[in-house]
Amino acid sequence: MRFILAFLTLFSLPLHAQELLPKYQVLGYIDMVMEGEERRYPVIAMEDRSFANKYELHREDGIYKYRLTGVSVRDDGEWGFPMVSVDITTHDEAMFRSVYITYATETFRNDYVFKAATGDQTAFYGELVEGDNGLVAFEFRGQLIHYDVDPEAGLFTPQAGKAPVEISGRVSVTIPAEYRED
């Protein structure tokens, strides 16, 4: 009987219940559907670094760039791979909008990097919601393209014969004031 109770207790625990260590602050999430599977990536900040930033590219023209990176949570509570990064550039007059999405399962290894971008019409994002408190929210969709990576040369080359991966998702993150150039 004890064996059965121990067995049931063991298998009733969630398999993916990892939580980030308390040294990390969760700023929001990138929720993504990739190959039909729902995935959630927390966007975090720590003592001296944030995975959510707003950069001023050209203040007079109202051009800003947001860089938002969602991470996986390892069994030990640290952040890790895979991770997804969504960069958007926006213009106050909505004359210029772009999105650049990368998904990596490991650092600088072939077969593990995917990219999608507005420039090659493989990614798009919807209405951008910006709040006074640093809230950034939007939906995105696209096709991630497999790339070979040469880290020394900084080159990304599309892999021949690999089908694009359909993605869609939603970002909702509050960027702390110290990581925003408003």
Which range is least confidently modeled, 4-8, 33-37, 172-176?
Answer: 4-8
- Domain hosting 71: range is 22-179
Confidence of residue 120 (pLDDT cuts 50, 70, 90): low
**pLDDT digit string (tens) for 52-86?**
988 888 767 778 888 999 999 999 999 998 889 89
In a domain, 7, yes or no: no
Residue 121 has pLDDT above 80, yes or no: no
DSSP E strand stretches across 35-182? 37-46, 49-50, 52-58, 63-73, 79-91, 97-104, 113-117, 123-125, 129-130, 135-150, 155-158, 165-174
Find tokens 């994002």 and name the residue.
125
Residues shown for the chain: 182
| Domain contains 1 | no
Tell me whether residue 11 is in a domain: no
Q: Is residue 73 part of a domain?
A: yes
Would the pLDDT of 112 be above 70? Answer: no
What's the CA gap between 24 and 21, in Å, rounded? 6
**Total domains, the chain:** 1
- Global pTM value: 0.79
- Answer whether residue 6 is part of any domain: no
User: What is the per-residue pLDDT for 96?
Assistant: 56
| pLDDT confidence bin for 107, thresholds 50/70/90 | low
Q: Tell me how far apart the alpha carbons of residues 77 and 62 are, in angstroms, rounded to a whole number.
A: 39
Structure tokens at 71: 């991470």
Q: 42 CB contacts (<8 Å, ≥6 apart)?
A: 20, 24, 26, 27, 28, 29, 70, 71, 73, 79
